[in-house]
Structure 1
Amino acid sequence: MTTETLDIKITKNTQSRLAQTDFSQLTFGHTFTDHMLVADYADGEWKNFEILPYGPIALSPAISSLHYGQAFFEGLKAYRHADGNVSVFRPDKNAARFNKSAERLCAPELPVDMFIQSIAALVDVERDWVPAADGYSLYIRPFMFATDPYLGVVPSNTYKFIVLTCPVGPYFTKPLRVKFETKYTRAAEGGFGFAKAAGNYAGSMLPSRKAVEEGFDQMIWTDSKEHQYAEELGAANVMFLIDGKLVTPSTRDTILDGVTRDTVIALAKDWGITVEERRVPITEIVEAARSGKLTDAFGAGTAATIAPIGAINYEGEELTLSDPASREFSNRLLNSLNDIRYGRAADTHSWNYMI
């Protein structure tokens, strides 16, 4: 769907927090920029697009998203190039996935160009907040939630769309120690594991906390029926280099169709590397680690970027992988991704949306 240029009202913050922000001490998701974008859905249309100072919003305590979970989000990033220009990485892919989440949760779709224009307008206002250091970026969080102020298990007729921005550094700062989770389930077939629904993350918090208490950084979720197939990490898709082939769980209704995952697959194919998207048995990964055929393993996500896995635990057996610093493939990926996103290399796939 194509729309005309959005009429976005802009109200500037008169007291910026930029000068008081220490960009060398950024805890991911804790520092917010001066403004946010807000829009409403009512009477069958999107309206009231506005950029205004970041701050609290007034809502009824009866809004349906608080009671019945009609809420979902996206995550993408803006990068500062060496020449000072700013780009957003692959916002069209995030827009498409945002609408897949909307459809599954019975919420209205936001036309792709409205999604992109909203993000571009906010990033333009906040361009001074985009960090310049390598590995740093402006994280963008668009989200939608139901706002009908009454109780009843029916889809809401009204919604609010908001975009927040945060300057961020690396999400993970060390190789990950992970375990295969074979008790708890993140998503079941026929559910909405493929959507970035708030409820997916709420349900993962208890097993994630238990894993951290056991000394792990992340879990590799497994299928809900047999707990015999790898699905994804808690914060990213998971990918393995086995016997020279890039192997990753195929997307299905239990697995998020990650933008970084798609980007990694495209780059691997550009480099002539065989890519296998399929169901991946735990036993295959364990045996490959034991035999030395598993030469690389990492998470791939917007927040995580390329997050190397240093050790995998299965039923108490600790499988230590090669030193991430020596891994050719994932380091090439990270360097290539950074070169494209920061404007240091040719963007042959047209992934950068210039602001």
Structure 2
Amino acid sequence: MTDIAGTLGSMFSLIIVTILGYVAARCGFISADIRPKLSGLIFNITLPCTILASVGKIDASTGAEAITWSLVFGIALFFVMLAGGALACLALRVPRGERGLYLWMGVLTNTGFIGFAVLDSIFGGASVFLGSIFIALSNVFIYSIGVALLRSAGQAGRAAGVGGDGASGEAARKRRRTIDVRGMLKDMVNVPLVMSLVAMVIFFAQVSVPAPIMQAAEMAGGITSPLAMMLVGLSIADADLAAVLKQPRLWGFTVIRFLLVPLAVYVLLAPLVPSALALGVFVVMLAMPTGSMAGPIAETYGQNGELPAQGTIVSTVASFAIVPVLMTIMSLG
């Protein structure tokens, strides 16, 4: 496990880059209209390069054990996130009509952008490869069971009096179901997932990748973390912070789901798991804030996207305190 000084220094560096993104947005150098293209660049180009480059940074003597535990934790990740969200809803007495949204905020987290930036900064490049395993496995559940939660919540809202009527309403529902299936398949099978599988084949088969390719992957992947954190700064700059930060239930949900649950998981598993790196990645993945796509996807399934959008900002701001706290406790263990 990393030392506390290095952990705090790494997180402070990420905060500085986020502030630079915020300043750039306020000065007009970057704006919300370029966010989709930059996100696409990261997700489809630089992040896969980061995953590929990370394969060469894994110690062969300990890599197999860490990968095995990562496969186990990767399958468990979604269900632990879902249970943590349910516990938070119960503790905070979240109204029934909002529970689906809170559960969605608890499982659709920013593991891809902020997660990889934090992992690379704190644990080094090998952890990025392990993190890609987590994401590849958990996405299967997020875009199947997670989306089913949203759909059922949306149907409950329409049953209460919201939605179309007659043949047109039925046609719209059928059309939405068709789009849902296509969207889920598209989200589950993506470039980072494919690259994760390729990276696993390279590692276990001991495939020798030409040095120029690995060097190019490392160069391109090097912009993933700073660009991702600058996008976080852009999101914060676009938000109405005065309104968003005055949400006590969202803050309570953030503390329980993104701090207390990962902390409890670490305390329970630390004596049992021999791979400190895999456990560290698991805890970091659990602590990552709600993803920026939580609101838009919620709206796709007939839900109010404003609450998840606010949850994204609250949990992201809080993550800059939550992650150092978790890493400090883990360093003392």
Q: TM-score, normalised by structure 1?
A: 0.26
Q: TM-score, normalised by structure 2?
A: 0.28
Give the number of the structure with larger relative contact order, counting CA–CA contacts within 8 Å between residues 6 or more apart: 2
Structure 1 or 2: larger helix share? 2
Instruction: Indicate the structure (1 or 2) with the bigger Cα radius of gyration.
Output: 1
